[in-house]
Amino acid sequence: MKKTWLITGCSSGFGRHLAQEAAARGDEVVATARNLDTLRDLAQRYPNTVRLASLDVTRPETIRAAIAMTEETFGKLNVLVNNAGHGFMGAIEEATSDEYRPLFEVNVFGLIEVTRAALPLMRRTKGGRIVNLSSGAGILGTGGRGYYNATKFAVEGLSEALAQEVAPMDIRVLIVEPGPFRTEFLGRSIAVARQKLEAYAASGGAARIYRESNDGRQLGDPSKAVAVMIRAIDADDPPLHLPIGPHAHSQAERKLEMFRRDIDAWREMSIATDFD
Ligand code: NAP
């Protein structure tokens, strides 16, 4: 059976690759972007199965319109991919609220609004997949990336809860946690704190240097990452957590080790806290 997909942020990177791959295998795709000019070629190549919708995850009316168009055109929604997102480099003290709040608007509240708008159609479809783009940064916090970490940790918690809520409806949630992949992410999709404090040279400063020296040089091939995502989406029993790439895997291992060490070292004292 052909699957019907709705993907946010298809102008470039993972979203673009996913839309292309899904369309190439004959699935129905609602490819969305803020600027539809970035997607015209895809719609021309697959005129019967690809529809374009202008969708900015911070504008609820565009979300509602894209979901309505999906239902009118295809009558169902099997795979929702919450991919739209951007990044931010800078230490916690360096950034100001006008810099970090927009990150939450897109990565967290945008994802929530798209999910809430899509769920009624997904429930009527009876079964499907919600794929939420987190990051290795959603597994392990790193100095200089704290605000991005915070948004992706929010995606993780929300997704784990959602997975339990929608399991009875045969909807499965996948949290995709890529390491560094060569998309537009480190270029136009990442902002840097205006304020630079010498005290944070080793954290905020290192993140800035990482961005400058790694854009376009990331080892991860996004088409290979997308192939893994599609295998997982198609699986009868997909994983809830899916780190992709060696870096994300080592972050997951480090997190597990650190968590285990702290829990074990403090177990006796920290569990003796119920009323006598
Ligand atoms: P990308 O090529 O820069 O793509 C980011 C996409 O998000 C673009 O299509 C962008 O659209 C879209 N977007 C940003 N704000 C939006 C909004 N308000 N409404 C709708 N779309 C919006 O980077 P990418 O790597 O593919 O990023 C996709 C996801 O992967 C993000 O959630 C990112 O956090 C995650 N991720 C990436 C990496 C990596 O190394 N590449 C690693 C871990 C996680 P515009 O063209 O309109 O800006």
**Domains observed in the chain:** 4-247 (3.40.50.720)
Q: How many CB atoms lie within 10 A of CB 6?
A: 31
Distance 16 CA to ligand 1 centre (A): 10
Distance 190 CA to ligand 1 centre (A): 9
Q: What is the pLDDT of residue 23?
A: 98
Determine which helix (DSSP H) or strand (DSSP E) holds 129, and give its type and residue range: strand 128-133
Q: What is the pLDDT of residue 96?
A: 98
Q: What is the pLDDT of residue 1?
A: 86
pLDDT tens sequence across 223-256 = 999 999 999 999 999 999 999 999 999 999 999 9
* 83 within ligand 1 shell (Cβ under 6 A): yes
* 153 within ligand 1 shell (Cβ under 6 A): no
User: How many angstroms separate the Cα of 166 from the Cα of each of 102, 158, 176, 233?
Assistant: 28, 12, 18, 16
Determine which helix (DSSP H) or strand (DSSP E) holds 175, and give its type and residue range: strand 171-178
Q: What is the pLDDT of residue 198?
A: 97
- 210 is known as an active-site residue: no
Strand partners, 242: 176
Q: What is the pLDDT of residue 32?
A: 98
Catalytic residue among 100, 135, 147, 152: 152
Spans in the chain with pLDDT lower than 70: none
Q: What is the pTM of this model?
A: 0.98
- 148 is known as an active-site residue: yes
Q: Are 248 and 225 in contact (CB under 8 A)?
A: no
Of 183, 219, 229, 247, best ligand 1 pocket probe by most atoms within 8 Å of the beta carbon:
183
- 152 is known as an active-site residue: yes
Atom 23 of ligand 1, nearest CA residue:
185
Point out the ligand 1 atom lying closest to the alpha carbon of residue 106: 18
Determine which helix (DSSP H) or strand (DSSP E) holds 33, and give its type and residue range: strand 28-33
Closest to 107 (Cα-Cα) out of 22, 214, 190, 218: 190
Query: Where does the chain have alpha helices with state H?
Result: 13-24, 40-45, 60-74, 97-104, 111-125, 146-166, 206-214, 222-234, 246-271
* 138 within ligand 1 shell (Cβ under 6 A): no
Of 81, 86, 131, 176, best ligand 1 pocket probe by most atoms within 8 Å of the beta carbon:
86
Closest to 179 (Cα-Cα) out of 212, 208, 210, 147: 210
Residue linked to tokens 């909807």: 171
CA-to-CA distance for 42 and 73, rounded, in angstroms? 17
CA-to-CA distance for 24 and 137, rounded, in angstroms? 31
Atom 11 of ligand 1, nearest CA residue:
9
Catalytic residue among 148, 159, 189, 200: 148
Atom 8 of ligand 1, nearest CA residue:
9
Q: Are 11 and 33 in contact (CB under 8 A)?
A: yes
Contacts 24+ apart (CB under 8 A), 33-37: 33/9, 35/11
Q: How many CB atoms lie within 10 A of CB 270?
A: 10
Distance 2 CA to ligand 1 centre (A): 26
* 39 within ligand 1 shell (Cβ under 6 A): no
